[in-house]
Amino acid sequence: MDKEITFQDYLYVIFTKRWVVISIFLVTLGATIIYTFSVPKVYKATATVMMEPGSIAGSPFRGSRFYYPVVNIRNYCEILNSKAVAERAVDKLKDAGFNFSFLNRPEPAESLLLRRSINPVMDSDIIKVDGIGRTTREAVAVSNAIVDAFMEEQLSSIKKGIAERREFLEAQIPQVQSNLEESERRIKEFKEKNKIVSLPDEVTELVEELADFDRLYNSSGATYKSLQNRLNFLKNQLAEQKLVLVNEIAEVSSPYILELRRQLIFLETDYSLYLVQGLLESDPKLMDLKESIERTKVKLIEETKKIVNKQIPSLDPLSSSQELVDKILELEVEVSAQEAERNAFLEIKQNYEKKLYSLPTSEFELAQLERRKKVNAIAYELLMRYYKETQVSEAGTVSNVRVVDRAGTSKAPIKPKKRLNLILGTVFGIILGIGGAFVADYVGASIKTPKDIRIHVNLPVFGSIPKVSKPNLMEHSRNSPIAEAYRTIRTNVGFANPDCPAKTILVTSSVPKEGKSTIASNLGIIMTQLGKKVLLVDADLRKPTLAKVFGVEKDKGVTDILIKKVDWSSVISSTKIENLNLLASGKIPPNPSELLGSQQMDALIKQLNESFDYIIFDAPPVVSVTDAVILSSKLDGVLLVVEANRTNKLALSHAKENFERVNAKILGVILNKVPSGYAPYGYPHYHSYYRYYTSKEEA
């Protein structure tokens, strides 16, 4: 069974359902046009800001090469998208005298959030702030208001942080001052009680040095913790990008690296000891040590990077991950050096504490009081210095948001995009129209092409009759397309069974009004052109039509022969067509099926077969009544008429099954009323052929 579907079949579906395609296309395109030209215009204005790293007053990293200020653009984008910034922007718009419609709504901030778009620029610290509005003025105002509100929000946040530090310091200063005063009071009381004026010079010097080492140790420890926190922060940042790198970097080691780390510790310890001995940093020994420390750090960093690059060869040198890795490696070295310095100060401090513990009791107690006083004095001095720095920072605080470009006017609206909408409307209109045509074709489930017949009932197609206003051959020339179509059917009938040609042929259809009577008449006419003697029998004993077609008497015919036993030759009528005779139905009987299935009908068929070359029976539709099925079992073959774009596939299948149940031979199918103007696969191009084989005058 041929089930291949060609491109021409698709074209035919589109052609036959062209009004569906056109209607859906026009509706889609019309809706697009109405929407495009009725929807309010939307404008966009863009402002550009750059985020600059902020600085924190009193940070131990400021001015250090290990102070890596990081700008997290995603965080700032979230702030720009926050309701707090939107509410501040709404206030600024109202204060500026703008009266946009969304400002008068119950939740203007929510409406403003729908009128902005925040877009970070990849691999940069720049953010684009898009304002959207019904006018260019509104778009510009929204964009600039959001930028200004964001700047104020950031400045307010920075000032708040500095103010909190200042308030913290203000709260701590009285307590430290009180501790200092308490230390002084206790020293005074101890001296008065124990009749001691002062400590010996060597003990005083010991206390002062121990206090200095306390300060150095605490300062070194604070720096170490700060560096360690910074290192952890960078590792967390790297972990967000490539988690596996953190563990690989942390585990980097080699004998040479371990040796460099030990050298760095020894050098840092010696440097600290020389400082303790009172040598100045400009001393040649200290300068040489400092140079050695820096060289060792550089070697350690370079060696570590080499190993890391070997272990992680896929790292892009230009990527942010590579930059973080480099910073982490450098900071790891600095942390190690700072840890060595802190341990050196701790060792020295512990040695001085041992000396202090060896003093007599009274001197030891006074020394401890003097030491505590010294520590409190240093703490008070530091607090006062940080407090003054904080006051200066608070007074000179600026936002870390820099406006690169403020929003300017935009001439063309971003919505609606007329050209794009019309193109999309056209494309989707065509697609939906074609889809609708195939849906309508599927839902209709009608026979359209000869291929449909072969696919659904596996029957040969003997011919296709074009749809014309006057379907009778008597009204057409011998060389007309319709005459050629019937000659094709005549030829196919003759070759259906060359060894035993069908002489008695039943012409019927699945359902009424498919043109079976017209085809039976025209088939009889076309057969007479071969010089054959043909008889048309109107076997439709319910709604006969052949007598009217040929203009003969209809009251005498088949029923007279079967019921009244009249001689068949007395009721046969001649027609205007030579060699074509007609046996009308006669009066309509109450029992057509019984008459057609009777023995008298068998005898009549036998008698007629002896007198005519071809006998063509016009029978009622198969699905309506059983007359055609009963009569088909008595004849040589059946021709099924199918109307294009009307006959249901299920009805055709049902008709075929009915004939097969009585072992009737279906010669083939005739596709009737084929639309003109297009001839898909299986339809003859009648007009083209006709013009080719005839002269202009004949055509």
Here the tokens at position 242 are 């490539």
| pLDDT one-digit tens code per residue, 346-384 | 776 666 666 666 555 555 666 666 667 777 777 777 778
Q: Is the peptide bond before 60 cis (omega within 30 degrees of 0)?
A: no
- Please state the φ and ψ torsions of residue 207, each to the nearest 5 degrees: -65, -45
Can you tell me the distance from the alpha carbon of 380 to that of 395, in angstroms, rounded to the nearest whole number? 23
Summarize the confidence of residues 179-201 as an average pLDDT. Answer: 67
- pLDDT tens digits for 590-626? 999 999 999 999 999 999 999 999 999 999 999 888 9
- Which residues does residue 401 pair with via DSSP β-bridges, in sequence order? 51
Paired strand residues for 365: none
Amino acid at 228: Q
Helix (H, G, I), strand (E, B) or coil at 295: helix
What does each C-alpha distance from 91 to 46, 98, 105, 242, 365 come to in angstroms?
20, 10, 13, 43, 65
In 3D, which of 453, 473, 474 has the Cα closest to residue 653?
Answer: 453
pLDDT of residue 516: 93
Question: How far apart are the C-alpha atoms of 472 and 481, rounded to whole Å?
Answer: 12
pTM for the full model? 0.46
Going through 604-662 in order, the beta strands assigned E by DSSP cover: 614-618, 637-643
pLDDT band, residue 317 (cuts 50/70/90): very low
- What are the pLDDT digits (tens) for 403-434? 888 887 767 777 888 888 899 999 999 999 99
- Retrieve residue 684's tokens: 């003859």
* Cis, peptide link before residue 544, omega less than 30° from 0: no
Contacts for 163 with CB less than 8 Å, ≥ 6 apart: 394
| CB-based contact 158:401 (threshold 8 Å) | no
Does the structure show a pLDDT above 90 at 234? no
Which secondary-structure segment (H or E) carries 543? none
Domains in the chain, ordered, with CATH? 7-39+416-442 (no CATH), 192-397 (no CATH), 458-693 (3.40.50.300)
pLDDT of residue 298: 77
Q: In this model, does residue 462 exceed pLDDT 50?
A: yes
Q: Which of 357, 350, 359, 353 is nearest to 200 (CA)?
A: 359
